[in-house]
């Protein structure tokens, strides 16, 4: 999809500045000055009917007066004069015009009409337009800075922006970091050239490795989808209007419809577009794609002198689906004599305060074959830090701190094409964008560690214990044969449920140990037999004294009430939505002891699903008092029974009046 028709905007041999001015500060002055000072290698023609010379260059009254060919024009004259200027350009044979002037469609109905006229004129003469109402075009590789501020660093990222200032901020950061950009285009009102045209152009531009686009809405969804489906270069998109309020602001700003954000999200996901959520991510992600080598997997080893930063980096990695996998023994052996004896052989690998550049370098060399990425975190200023890392070598460099020494080393690395990130989290997140979703681990969830050496109460024993503490449990009895089960079922009336009762099985339903809604004696007998077979085949070693037969609870809101004894904090009371769905969409609140009534009420209010408890969609609210009471009872058990390390009442069914425990798990130390 080579777009030769846009070539003249980035590689003109000659540029006319229509509206060039002699007054410093005016855009017509600044742009001409930037073209000159940026080192534009071709001919520059200021157009100004009143001046003889501007910035040392001979002025022309009209673009048509220029004796030589003009490839491109930058237009900074009042809006109403722009169509005529473009007509003149057309007659002169100019191929492209960058219309900086504002006052078109963004400024109301009259401006919109003027813009229509402008487009008509341009199309009559086959002139392509950037803008109007834009901040120009800059190609540091030509070089040609028909924009402001003057930025001349040559880089690898093409920045396309619907907002002049957002684009300029990106440019600015890339410039301060001495990385530069491959080109910058300010889209403005997109009367002609839009984001799709430019993505197509930069796909074919050899200086561009990554395309970074800020948009508020796309102009043509169909063309946008088409270009995404064939694009080979990484595309990083910052799209504002993510929220309803932002969308309204975006539509007002661009005077055009924006589709629902969720659709953009799915479109981006489908086509592998990297979506930045903030302007800082926009910068970081573009930088990552431009200068990091995509790793072939998700395993990362941190090498650092800052234990603290490496822990933060580990958190970030797990959240982003990277794996901070254990140090292979073989590698640990190879580090003998290289790292200090008191440095712990683990990942993160903390080289301790004794580290120097040489040690970093040797560790990096030895570790490289074992990991997909090495995360080098410099916490303290390491002399010659910039010498230990290599461009394009699957290294992620993080250099904390903003003082002069860090800045100097950072700049040295940037000059060598090695991107440096200022915090572990920003670096890791940028790296994670380069790893395909399939190579990533499922994002880490906060869970309680399973302590070993715990003993589970039998189900029936547990329910009896809970009854003795004042809980309403579903009517249940213990049976150790199909016959007894049937007998009990008749007493409670069908339907009933059947659950295996074994101290050795933690997840009954995983092994076929739960059957609900059994309707008859016949069904119960066969369920009993089948259950024993299935459970035994899953757990051949488990002790299985029998089963619990229970009545079926009426439908109600499924909740979890529980307690977990943390080794450091002691008992933690847990409340949340229950059942199997919510095991995945985890929604719980927690409190430490002592637990007051107010705490319990807060816990109930705190979960995301709280509206469900208050009577959502015409349902009756559930009995909050009963829930508060249940939580306080669990707290009391935790205080009185120090040997109980875990209580898991799940599900508890909550009703408009009361609640009932349907299943439970109780673990002792």
Q: CB within 8 A of 68, min separation 6: which ones?
A: 14, 43
- The dihedral region occupied by 519, where left means phi > 0, alpha psi between -120 and 50, and beta the remainder, is alpha
Q: CB within 8 A of 102, min separation 6: which ones?
A: 79, 132, 133
Q: At what angle do helices 424-432 and 279-291 cross, to 10 degrees?
A: 60
| DSSP helix/strand/coil, 63 | helix
Minimum Å gap between C-beta 580 and its own copies is 5
Q: What is the DSSP letter of 435?
A: S
Q: What is the DSSP letter of 24?
A: T
**Beta carbon nearer to its own copies, 43 or 150:** 150
Token pair belonging to 575: 């409340």
Q: At what angle do helices 195-203 and 221-230 cross, to 10 degrees?
A: 20
Minimum Å gap between C-beta 485 and its own copies is 20
**Beta carbon nearer to its own copies, 225 or 412:** 225
Contact 127, 86 (CB under 8 A): yes
Minimum Å gap between C-beta 307 and its own copies is 4
Instruction: Outline where DSSP puts E strands in 281-425.
Output: 300-304, 349-350, 373-378, 395-399, 420-421
Beta bridge partners of 456: 667
3-state secondary structure 9-71: HHCCCEEEEECCCCCCCCHHHHHHHHHHHCCCCCEEEEECCCCCEECCEECECCHHHCCCCCC
Beta bridge partners of 397: 376, 420
Minimum Å gap between C-beta 346 and its own copies is 6
**Beta carbon nearer to its own copies, 90 or 578:** 578
Token pair belonging to 388: 């230990």
**Beta carbon nearer to its own copies, 50 or 442:** 442
Minimum Å gap between C-beta 427 and its own copies is 11
Quick one: 53 exposed, middle or buried, by C-beta within 10 A (0-12, 13-18, 19+)? exposed
User: Is the four-CA dihedral 147, 151, 152, 154 of positive or negative sign?
Assistant: negative
- Closest alpha carbon to 160 in 129, 196, 186: 186
Minimum Å gap between C-beta 278 and its own copies is 4
**Beta carbon nearer to its own copies, 251 or 472:** 251
Minimum Å gap between C-beta 431 and its own copies is 15
Minimum Å gap between C-beta 545 and its own copies is 21
Token pair belonging to 197: 């045209």
DSSP helix, strand, coil percent of the chain (3-state; round to 5)? 40, 20, 40
Minimum Å gap between C-beta 591 and its own copies is 6
Minimum Å gap between C-beta 143 and its own copies is 18
- Nearest 5°: phi and psi at 651? -90, 150
């Amino acid at each position: 999809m080579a777009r030769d028709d846009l070539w003249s905007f980035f590689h003109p041999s000659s540029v006319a500045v229509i509206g060039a001015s002699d007054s410093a500060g005016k855009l017509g002055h600044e742009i001409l000055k930037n073209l000159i000072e940026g080192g534009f290698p071709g001919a520059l023609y200021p157009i100004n009917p009143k001046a003889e010379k501007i910035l040392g260059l001979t002025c022309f009254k009209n673009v048509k007066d220029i004796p030589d060919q003009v490839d491109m024009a930058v237009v900074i004259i009042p809006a109403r004069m722009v169509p005529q200027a473009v007509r003149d350009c057309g007659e002169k044979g100019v191929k492209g015009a960058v219309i900086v002037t504002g006052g078109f469609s963004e400024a109301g109905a009259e401006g919109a009409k003027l813009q229509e006229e402008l487009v008509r004129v341009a199309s009559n003469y086959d002139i392509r337009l950037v803008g109007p109402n834009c901040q120009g075009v800059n190609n540091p590789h030509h070089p040609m800075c028909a924009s402001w501020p003057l930025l001349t660093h040559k880089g690898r990222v093409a920045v396309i922006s619907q907002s002049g200032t957002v684009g300029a901020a990106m440019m600015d950061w890339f410039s301060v970091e001495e990385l530069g950009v491959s080109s910058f285009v300010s889209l403005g009102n997109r009367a002609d050239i839009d984001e799709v045209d430019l993505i197509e152009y930069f796909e074919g531009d050899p200086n561009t490795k990554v395309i970074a686009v800020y948009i508020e809405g796309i102009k043509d969804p169909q063309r946008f989808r088409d270009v995404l489906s064939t694009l080979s270069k990484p595309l990083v998109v910052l799209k504002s209007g993510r929220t309803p309020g932002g969308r309204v602001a975006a539509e007002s700003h661009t005077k055009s419809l924006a589709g629902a954000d969720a659709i953009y999200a799915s479109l981006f996901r489908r086509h592998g577009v990297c979506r930045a959520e903030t302007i800082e991510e926009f910068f970081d992600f573009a930088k990552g794609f431009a200068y990091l080598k995509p790793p072939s997997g998700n395993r990362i080893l941190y090498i650092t002198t800052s234990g603290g930063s490496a822990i933060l980096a580990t958190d970030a990695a797990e959240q982003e689906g990277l794996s901070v996998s254990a140090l292979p023994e073989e590698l640990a052996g190879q580090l003998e004599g290289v790292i200090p004896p008191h440095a712990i052989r683990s990942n993160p690998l903390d080289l301790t305060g004794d580290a120097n550049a040489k040690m970093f370098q040797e560790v990096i060399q030895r570790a490289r074959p074992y990991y997909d990425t090495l995360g080098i975190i410099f916490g303290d200023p390491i002399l010659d830090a910039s010498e230990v890392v290599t461009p394009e070598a699957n290294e992620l460099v993080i250099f904390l701190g903003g003082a002069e020494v860090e800045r100097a080393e950072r700049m040295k690395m940037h000059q060598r094409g090695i991107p440096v990130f200022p915090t572990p989290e920003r670096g890791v997140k940028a790296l994670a964008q380069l790893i395909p979703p399939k190579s990533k681990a499922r994002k880490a969830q906060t869970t309680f560690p399973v302590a070993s050496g715990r003993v589970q109460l039998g189900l029936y024993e547990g329910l009896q214990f809970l009854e003795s503490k004042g809980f309403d449990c579903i009517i249940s009895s213990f049976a150790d044969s199909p016959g007894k089960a049937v007998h009990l079922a008749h007493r409670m009336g069908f339907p009933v449920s059947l659950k295996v009762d074994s101290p050795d099985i933690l997840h009954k339903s995983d092994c076929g140990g739960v059957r609900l809604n059994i309707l008859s004696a016949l069904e119960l007998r066969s369920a009993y037999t089948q259950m024993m077979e299935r459970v035994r085949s899953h757990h051949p070693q488990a002790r299985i004294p029998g089963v619990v037969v229970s009545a079926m609870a009426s439908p109600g809101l499924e909740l979890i009430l529980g307690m977990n004894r943390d080794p450091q904090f002691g008992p933690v009371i847990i409340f949340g939505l229950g059942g199997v769905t919510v095991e995945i969409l985890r929604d719980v609140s927690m409190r430490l002891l002592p637990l007051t009534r107010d705490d319990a009420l807060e816990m109930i209010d705190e979960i995301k699903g709280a509206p469900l408890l208050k009577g959502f969609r015409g349902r009756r609210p559930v009995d909050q008092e009963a829930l508060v009471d249940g939580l306080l009872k669990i707290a009391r058990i935790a205080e009185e029974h120090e040997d109980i390390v875990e209580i898991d009442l799940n599900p508890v069914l909550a009703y408009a009046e009361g609640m009932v425990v349907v299943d439970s798990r109780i673990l002792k130390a």
